[in-house]
Structure 1
Amino acid sequence: MTAREGRGVYYEEATRQPPHDPLNLCIVATVAVLTWLIGPWAVTGFAVLGFVGYWRAWRKGLRRSKCWLRDTRLVLMYLAVLAAVGIVAALQT
């Protein structure tokens, strides 16, 4: 099997490192567009989704996050506040 027939992405040199894929930037842009279009309901939805994910991870033992806040409890509080603010804003519109 040659490199061109192989699995994955083809690179000209076998020893060359694959370029960095800025997938996170695409995800952030998509979330920003959805939030802009849907408004406070999107903020509430993403905050609740994040809270549920971090809650499950915390229950399984995650105590330090890659999030800027680092401490999982702080991340949970931040997401809970975002969800509450989103609900208040959505009900006022």
Structure 2
Amino acid sequence: MTLSALYEWMIEQLLISTSGLSGKQLSSSDPKTNWTIDDKIQHAQKIAQLTKEIQTLQHKIYKEKQFNKQVKMNLVLQKLRQALDNLTRTL
């Protein structure tokens, strides 16, 4: 095992523990995906950002009294969830 492989493995373990992704999703052993460490980190950051936006919007929907505003926010929430789902599938 080379030093770069060890470093990459450590980064993957940190990303798995912090982003909630599975090890299979971040594994670079798949020949179709040649993800660098930077790519994996950026991808995990995008997922974390979308997850935070979803949680914030869910809280706003819960606090909103007007039904029509809740409906509009729910449409945005569905789009964010779709984007998150697409990001987790692209790994």
The two structures have a TM-score, normalised by structure 1, of 0.44
The structure whose residues are more often helix, as a share, is 2
